[in-house]
Amino acid sequence: MTPRSILAGSLCLLGCLAGTARAVEVQPTRLEMTLPADQPTEGELEVTNHGGVPVEVRVQSAPYRHFQAGLHIPSAQDWFLFKPEKFLLAPGVTSNVRFTVTPPANVAADSAGEYLAAILVDELPAPLPVFEGPASGNALAIHHSEGAPMPAKEPETALPEPPAERTGKVTIVPRFALPVYFQIEGKERVGVELTNLTVEDERPIPDPNLGIPATETPQRLRLEVTLRSTGTVHVRPDGTFAILQADGGFVQGGRLGRAFPLLPTATLTIPAWTALPGTGSYRLIVTVDAEDIHGERLGELLQKEISFTVSESGAVTPS
Amino acid sequence: MKKTLSLVSLVTAALLCGIPSVGWASVREEVYVTGTILPFGGYRFSGGLRFDAGEPGPTDLGTILVDGMYNGEYPWRMRCYTDNLHFAGVAGSIHTASPAGLVSTDGRFVVPLLIHSPVFGEDSWRAVPDINDAKTVPYKPALTPGGSETTECIVLGIDPRNANWVAGPDNLLFTRDDIPLGDFIWETPFELSLRADFDAGSVQGTYDTYLYFETVPAP
């Protein structure tokens, strides 16, 4: 069935805009801290209202949700106490939210070196305009169920006349989710292994939006570097690759590109692509470094080398 | 709003002292730099929507104006979802319905909610999931150009590592013609459209939800 037009059908759009657009900014956008296990630690977030109207801001903790699903790293979600948890922020004003982080008693005895969480900063909605009903002239009553995630204040003047058909509202809540990394003092241990390096030829899948057929897309060289964390805290890896002639002459190279933090217990594969070199025998050398949350680099660079050949047809064979 | 910060940058300058045969002396010099750093910003959303769907059928609920821009480090994504903890479903029913969508005031019924973003393509609609749905598959970057499976409804984002359309005309990632900001974003202001399907079986009454637009910054 084709959706009906707002004008042609029985739909009546009752209200749309509820004031000027809101915009709240949070700093920092990432929280990485080292905490003592046996005492609370305090910190601060800076929240700024860049919009033209006052906004109500709510701050709460939540599970980590930043790209790496499936890892079982203990959560620090319940360690927070925010002050204030909810506040009104005038246009152009910056306010500080203080938080206290208190690790539970079992953390001191636990072997884990790192705990993850997220801090959610919400812009709570202003009440929507009250609709004046076409027949009775009474305001439409919108009720919130028990347990609703975020009850907004409704105008006290709303009359509880049951709606005759299907009515309601959608309330928009912009939310910003800061990733949180808490490392426990005395238990931080950095450890990374470069476990695997592969190389293969690859014909990219053409983007249909560009209208490039598969036969016209060039082959390229794809390499994958696999890192494994052997430590108790995360590091942020980076690195370079170099392709040399079998006799040692430099052919081409580049950076591995951006990588996620390598979390404890995790394995991280970093892909990179480069132009396929001509027919011949080559050496691929990958060098990886990493830094911890204090900017300290690994004690020594990680390096791995493999050899491969490129045939006349462009096929890559590790040797 | 601009925030002015004073930055202290340390540079190492090597100065030649004495005659060359003595060698090079290294002196560490502090250079103070004052700069203006723009806020990383964010997307702004106008208002919410009230609707009266009248009779059953697919119903356009209206549009949300999106303005601004997020300039934070990538990869990042903005996903939308509902958080319908108050959805209980119909007692005794055999099938457990997804809590995603508009929920009736009594918490028993749900109507699927769809969203259209110009980034999706013309007349392309996606279901808005609920964050409490047990079948949720979180987004993660793909290691192959084919992409990754997710149940998330991502309305905007930049993740240059796994998207072919970031690669530019040569179709090669990490080459000079890459489009680092030509990713899953759209020039603002633009409108997001919402649609619900009130089928004939949906009971009359009031339906509502909170629709979250969550910016998940770089990890």
ipTM, two decimals: 0.75
Return mean pLDDT, chain B: 71
Return mean pLDDT, chain A: 79
Give B204-217 pLDDT, tens digit per residue.
888 889 999 999 98
What does residue A215 show for φ and ψ, rounded to 5 degrees?
-70, -20
Residue A204 pLDDT: 57
Over range A311-315, report the average pLDDT: 90
Residue A144 pLDDT: 28
pLDDT of A205 higher than 90: no
> In terms of Cα–Cα distance, which of A182, A178, A186, A177 is closest to A264?
A182
Task: Please tell me which of the candidates B45, B51, B137 has its beta carbon nearest to residue A168.
Answer: B51
Q: Which domains does chain A have, with CATH numbers?
A: 23-126+172-184 (2.60.40.10), 192-318 (2.60.40.10)
- Global confidence as pTM: 0.76
> What is the spatial distance between Cα B62 and Cα A128, in angstroms, rounded to a whole number?
14
Confidence category of residue B55, pLDDT binned at 50, 70, 90: confident
Over range A192-219, report the average pLDDT: 71
What distance in Å separates residue A256's CA from the closest CA in chain B?
9
User: Which chain B residues have a beta carbon less than 8 Å from that of A210?
Assistant: 165, 169, 171
Over range A38-52, report the average pLDDT: 92
Most confident of A61-70, A139-148, A177-186, B175-184: A177-186
Residue found by looking up tokens 């013309």 in the block:
B122
Over range A35-64, report the average pLDDT: 92
3-state helix, strand and coil shares in percent for chain B, rounded to the nearest 5? 5, 45, 50
Q: Is A260 close to B219, i.e. CB distance below 8 A?
A: yes
> In terms of Cα–Cα distance, which of B102, B96, B97 is closest to B84?
B102
What distance in Å separates residue A144's CA from the closest CA in chain B?
7
Among B1, B44, B50, which would you mutate to test the A interface (most chain A Cβ atoms within 10 Å of its Cβ)?
Answer: B50
